[in-house]
Copies of this chain bind each other. A is one copy, B any other.
Amino acid sequence: MPFFASHWISLCLCVSVAGGNVLGVPLPEHQLIARIRRAAGKSRAVIAGVGDDAAILRPPAGHELLVTTDLSLEGVHFRREWHPPESVGHRVLARGLSDIAAMGGEPIAAFLSLAVPAETPQKWMDGFLAGFTRLARRFRVPLAGGDTGENPEGIVADIVVVGSVPRGKALLRSGARAGDGIYVTGELGRAAAVLHRLEGGGFVVKADGRGRPSLPRAKDLAPHFFPEPRLQTGRRLRGLASSAIDVSDGLSTDLAHICEESGVAAVIHEHSIPRGVSFTGSSLHFALHGGEDYELLFTAPPRARVPARLGGVRVTRIGQVLPPGRAKSPLLYLADSHGQRKPLVPAGWQHFGK
């Protein structure tokens, strides 16, 4: 049996019947249900959400359905001592939305399964839901269901986003062809720079050039704590891109996925990679291998006219698709400013804690 439908409610029934509280949440059950139902949002495509064995969705006529699911694990994808709960809620949903963006789709509804330790404070839950809901509202994605439970050792959130795309128009990883240009949105490496700083002990107050106390600016922190799914850009890529993926594991690893699925190789021009400049300076390593940028990486045929901006974000051409090499030859090459190519080993971001 699922929840909001039944589970969040049945958990709450358990509270009244057994006096126990599975979530360790101090709110009375009816308030909790009301809060979830308010957070759930509304949409014409969601015929029935919270309140039955399954949600009922009505995707637009002539559309195919997209379904993506992403696990977020405490200690692997986030840490409570590093990430405020609003950031965790935002990131959980952003991962799913970014997958829909990479397919060129529109999100229809989200489903959240959440297992938390019994002692999780209500304040944490509220912050998580606030971060989740703020992003959901911005992209008009109702929360149509999910499940809850207790996991003694840490928070586990599984996000499912259901979306739709006009029939046959989904952007696949498998469509890249030799000669296609390789493009990326926005700037790469900024999320990894923040993570690197967190791993190195976090943010300390420094004196700026004029001797005033200084911390990183919100815009430098946002790419890691509140990444932006590129839904508008993804939609604009339909009919333009030959393949697409979101940069979640890192440029090198995600480009390797495109090459594998398309049966091609690729060269990236080192100097053309749009590196994010932030408090850490700009790092080629983070831009190449840093994960969680949630920018879109795509290919487009040689004659395609790719605008310099798409859906409000800059687009940069960074390389070219090559014919497949022989067996065991490299998938990826990095070219320097003289055009010298050397093999590039995919070394995408490892979840921290590994």
Task: Give chain A's interface residues, CB within 8 Å of chain B.
Answer: 1-3, 5-7, 9-10, 13-14, 17-18, 20, 22, 47-48, 51-59, 64-71, 73, 75-77, 95-96, 98-100, 102-103, 105, 109, 111, 113, 115, 144-154, 156, 158, 160-163, 165, 167, 170, 172-174, 244-246, 248-249, 253-254, 256-257, 261, 345-348, 350, 354
The 4 residue pairs across chains A and B that have the minimum distance between CB atoms: A153-B153, A1-B248, A54-B68, A158-B158
Copies of this chain present: 2
Which of these, B96, B100, B113, B345, contacts A158 with CB under 8 Å? B113
Q: Is the interface of A mostly helix, strand, loop or mixed?
A: mixed
Q: Do residues A1 and B249 form an inter-chain contact, with CB atoms below 8 A?
A: yes
Residues of chain B within 8 A (CB-CB) of A346 are: 13, 17
Which of these, B153, B254, B345, contacts A152 with CB under 8 Å? B153
Q: Do residues B253 and A10 form an inter-chain contact, with CB atoms below 8 A?
A: yes
Which of these, B73, B115, B148, B163, contacts A54 with CB under 8 Å? B163
Residues of chain B within 8 A (CB-CB) of A144 are: 67
Nearest-neighbour CB distance to chain B for A299, whole angstroms, equals 14
- Which B residue sits closest to A17, measured CB to CB? B347
Decide: A345 near B17, CB < 8 A? Known: A53-B173, A246-B53.
Answer: yes
Q: Do residues A70 and B2 form an inter-chain contact, with CB atoms below 8 A?
A: yes
* Residue of A1, A47, A162 with most partner-chain B CB within 10 A: A1
